Amino acid sequence: MASDSPTDPKFRSIRLGRLGRPHGIRGEIKLDFWGEDPRASLALAPLFLELPRPGARAPALSPTRVIDYKKANKGLILRLEGVESREAAAALAGRYLTVSRATLPAAAEGEIYLADLIGMSVYTEENGYLGQISHFLETAGPVLVILSPQGTEIFLPWEGDHVARIEQEEGRLVVAESFRALAETNP
């Protein structure tokens, strides 16, 4: 079970979107929002800003609160608590707005949060162990990063037919033959 405290080792956060450029002079900032329902997502508490932490693998999480938002072309315009100027908003550009996984509702039938895949073991359909999912990259389509027993990274595109099945109770993801063919042509 995920925790809602960032100091707990079991804590997992879900990125709701990436902050962009400032909007206006009063501290508003554009958010490239990745969810479906901004009202429900932005009302979740606590929300966090990911901040760089030099020398650390994981970012620092700073609690924040959305005071107001409005829909904009390809995203949202946010007013965040404590961000009162264009300069303060500009300092947040490129940061991610996240929420604790523990505060989110259960995934719908047949769906899964990408964050719930982290830590799963990855196997071929012939039961060959490939490694464990360590994280995912947010590109045009998410890419899961599998850390192999040899310490190398294997990149598994989430989009397409590369995943045969997910056995969530067993903590297993099984890759399809199409992924093996892709991996063999792109070592």
Q: Give me the residue spans of the domains in the chain.
A: 13-103, 114-185
Average pLDDT over all residues of the chain: 85
Question: Please, what CATH class does the domain formed by 114-185 belong to?
Answer: mainly beta
Q: What is the mean pLDDT of residues 17-30?
A: 94
**Alpha carbons 108 and 29: distance in angstroms, whole number:** 31
Structure confidence by residue, pLDDT tens digits, 139-172: 777 788 888 888 888 888 887 788 899 998 899 9
Give me the CATH code for the 13-103 domain, please.
Answer: 2.40.30.60
Q: Are 97 and 15 in contact (CB under 8 A)?
A: yes
Residue-level pLDDT at 44: 84
Please say whether the beta carbons of 99 and 12 come within 8 A: no
| C-alpha span between 5 and 177 (Å, rounded) | 39
Q: Between these two residues, 12 and 184, which has the higher pLDDT value?
A: 12
Q: How many CA atoms lie within 13 A of 113 on its CB side?
A: 21
Q: What is the pLDDT of residues 126-140, one digit of tens each?
A: 888 999 998 877 777
- 139: helix, coil or strand? coil
